[in-house]
Structure 1
Amino acid sequence: MDRPHDHPPSPFRHPPDLDTLNALSRDTAIDTLGIVFTDVGPGHITATMPVDARTRQPYGLLHGGSSVLLAETLGSSAGNLCVPDDRICVGIEINANHLRAARDGVVTGTARPLHVGRSTQVWDIRIEDEQGRPVCVSRLTLAVVPRG
């Protein structure tokens, strides 16, 4: 039997919209790396990123910086869906543990909230390969600041 705490309420103040998220990414680093938002739901946001010449390091592996850019994109985008219109979220700290190499294909990242407060947020981001194996786990801390 489901109890209220089995499915926490969505932290999103604004209804997540894939078309809007992808449109906001045009002509940015997000677009340059081929990141595409693919799923939003109560309490999560997901995007994919190709492992190709744009995202690999010289040894043919997914660049750790590319994984971090995907992680910060997911966490920051999710965080900004949780704040009033007069506020924005900006990253103040991110860490990443690179667990497995990826050489090709597509990786998928999903961000979920750990803490959504009035002045800070903390997001957990997990990036997996096409077989569902963990490639990178990351934690992003955001500051909630006045817009403008």
Structure 2
Amino acid sequence: MRFVEATTDRVVAELAIRDDLKTIGGRLHGGTIMALADTVAATATFLNLPQGASTTTLESKTNFFAGASEGTVRAASTPLHRGRTTMVWETRVTDASGRLLALVIQTQMVLLPRPGLSAPGTSATASP
């Protein structure tokens, strides 16, 4: 996966279709499409979080419209709602010709820092 655009209003990534990402029938696996969309929407949420907050996927719904067996797919996430506790993103997954493969609507929970707990990747220090 390669990010090609990342702003607070839109995140886009591309993924080259490989054999290990295909179903036995030779099509890109739906789970791969869902994971790509989840990663892109989570990244978009992260770019909109307040300092010290993190995120996790709360809900995700995917509608599949077409399959792809070769080339590159592109996932583009744009916001439908950016609130204090949740954000909702629409991710359109297309093939190289722009044909819509899947539409994903995803809700991300905003995990605000809790007093006394350290954020991931940091350490809490006690006051004297």
Please, what TM-score do these two structures have when normalized by structure 1? 0.74
Deviation at 1:53, TM superposition (A): 1.5
Structure 1 residues 1-148: aligned runs within 5 Å: 35-41=1-7, 43-147=9-113, 148=119
What residue identity is the alignment partner of 2:47? L
Give the CA deviation at 1:40.
2.6
TM-score by length of 2: 0.85
Equivalents in 1 of 2:31, 2:12: separation in Å? Answer: 18
What is the count of residue pairs matched by the alignment? 114
Question: Which of these two proteins has the greater Rg computed from alpha carbons?
Answer: 2
SS in 2 for 1:108: strand
The offset of 1:51, in angstroms, is 1.3
Structure 2: which 5+ residue stretches go unaligned? Answer: 114-118, 120-128
Partners in 1 of 2:3 and 2:83 — Cα distance? 24
RMSD: 1.1
Aligned sequence identity (%): 28
SS state at 1:81 partner: helix
**Deviation >6 Å, runs of 4+:** none
Q: Distance in 1 between matches of 2:110 and 2:25?
A: 38
Letter in 2 for 1:140: Q
CA contact (8 A) 2:37 2:91 kept: yes
Distance 1:88 1:45 in 2: 17
C-alpha distance in 1, partners of 2:26/2:106?
Answer: 26
Letter in 2 for 1:117: G
